[in-house]
Amino acid sequence: MKKHLLFLMLLSYQLNTFAQEDAWVYLKDKQNVVASIANPISILTQKAIDRKNAHHVLIDEKDVPVNENYISQLKGATGISVMAKSKWFNAVHVRGSKTDIDNLITIFSFIDYIDFADKNLNTLKAVQQKNTSKLEKASTIFTYGNAANQIEMFNGEELHVTGYTGAGMTVAVIDAGFPNVNTMSSFLRLRNAGNILDDYDFVNRDSDVYTNTTSNHGTLVLSTMAGYIENEYVGTAPDASYYLFITEDGLSENPVEESYWVEAAERADSLGVDVINTSLGYTTYDDSDYSYTTLNMDGNTAFITKGANVAFEKGMLLVNSAGNSGSNSWGIVGAPADAPGVFSIGAVQANGTYASFSSKGNGTQPTRKPDVVAQGQASYVITENDIITTANGTSFSSPIMAGGIVCLWQALPDNTNAEIMQLVRESASQYHSPDYNLGHGIPNLQKALNSASSIINNNDGKNEDLKLLPNPTKGPIYFTLPFSENELSNENELSVSIFNILGKKILETVITKDTNQVDISSFSNGVHMVRIQSKNISKTIKLIKY
């Protein structure tokens, strides 16, 4: 009996020793950082550089690739498979036994710390806390057919009529498979225009996203934005350009998919992508030790969520499905939809009422989730067989809305990602009374455009003289006023509202000839928006507090 017991104990020990675990290996440094930043074309495309410059996004160490020599050494380590890498986090996703992964930190001096996907495996020795630091338009009239309701719900067709159909904008669709997109008649218009820029399968490490796939999910998602069947179906951004990336492994649920997503987002940033749509979400895994809890949906815990927040900082606008857990025990939005930097889209029925499956927000998230909603119940999509049908899920409300946002941003190329997101929120049906089911409600994109245009066009020659200094700043800001002392009466007082990057108003005050200073030294570091208004002037200025 004791022999059998000893055998079982040894077997258990061996299974624990050799079981395959997933972990992120964080590295201490990068190669040629200063030289790369000084010569950004060596690490980014010109489009990416132009986009960052246009929106005042710094090119920094996060843009520098991971040291390939370090990756090669990790690949050569005993029992280790390198699954993915992230330049933003200077990290490598590895798979191996706990023993082999733990050994890495004793073998390689370039490793900063290791973080296991199964948090119970982390030890004080292995894990330490780390600080993370346009084109000319023409009027376009489409016959939308079955897709009419889902674009008309947020007045996206009005943008199309005025020529904003996504031309000149670049979208990355990060999803599962895209079967037959390269041959379907529904995407012929897209292909003939050369608007499928490239594709990559991060799961299988190849460029076959059309046949080497276990899912048609990406095809359905893409159809809501880029599908076109004359007089029968038009997507919400039919003239945008697209990158197609697979990061979802349809055969299993594992944290490595989060790492694949971050890799894809990093590539999108390097390519100059404007908008990312992701109709994916991560909550629980096949191995329950890797699973998150609802308390982890706090906007900064999941690896993919942290990656999404960096992507937002890099100037991209991320649109993500809220999730389909509204009627089950999980209930709330998943990662990365919980990220403050992600524009999370819930689902409504065709009549605009809440779709019961749509994941809800709660007090765990630092910002109101979902942000807004679009049609996600009985959404019209096109299958890989060129058949128009209906499907349910926030997987479809997300790209339907993403396409509309792409067209809005085309119309407002000088606005930042944060400004576009806030304009969409403010245009929504319940902006002043948001809830956890619909967030801010159903947007009105034409209203958003009109609101922004009124600010841009309301210029009597004095807007250009209205400035705030210094910018960036650590403390007080001063306003240079466009009025003479005689002109600055009560009618010309300046109303100043300051919003944080998430669109939350954090200060409201009045500027006069005697009080033209505002102290922001207590504000958190980062980007803020300053809206200045008077009887004759309206202007929004981006302010950087450091």
Query: Which residues pair with residue 507 across a beta bridge?
Result: 498
Q: Where are the beta strands (DSSP E) in 316-449?
A: 317-321, 342-348, 372-375, 379-382, 388-391
**Residue linked to tokens 């990068």:** 30
Known catalytic residue: 528? no
Question: 206 an active-site residue?
Answer: no
Interstrand relation of 538-545 and 505-511 (parallel, antiparallel or unpaired) = unpaired
Q: Which of 117, 84, 94, 101 is nearest to 292 (CA)?
A: 117
454: CB partners within 8 A, 6+ apart: 538
Strand order, beta sheet including 476-480? 467-469, 476-480, 517-519
E strands present in 349-463: 372-375, 379-382, 388-391
- Residue 400 and residue 150: Cα distance in Å, rounded? 7
Residue 98's H or E segment, with its range, is helix 98-107
* Residue 282 DSSP label: B
Residue 63 annotated to the active site: no
Tell me the residue length of the chain.
546
Phi/psi class of residue 186: alpha, beta or left (left: φ > 0; alpha: ψ in -120 to 50)?
alpha
**Long-range CB contacts (< 8 A, 24+ apart) of 228-232?**
228/186, 228/187, 228/188, 228/189, 228/190, 229/145, 229/185, 229/186, 229/382, 229/386, 229/388, 230/143, 231/143, 231/145, 232/143, 232/145, 232/146, 232/388
Give which of 497, 481, 475 is closest to 544, Cα–Cα: 475
CB atoms closer than 10 angstroms to residue 192: 8
Distance in angstroms (rounded) separating the CA atoms of residues 176 and 174: 7
For tokens 């004791």, what's the residue?
2
In the block, residue with structure tokens 């509309």:
404
- Nearest of 417, 396, 449 to residue 158 by alpha carbon: 449
Spot the catalytic one: 22, 175, 199, 274.
175
Q: Taking the CA of residue 133 as centre, how many other CA atoms within 13 Å lie in the half-sphere pointing to its CB?
A: 7
Identify the active-site residue in 36, 186, 358, 395: 395
**Cα 110 to Cα 357: distance, rounded to the nearest angstrom:** 46
Q: What interhelical angle do 394-411 and 217-226 show, nearest 10? A: 30
Q: Annotated catalytic sites, by residue?
A: 175, 217, 395
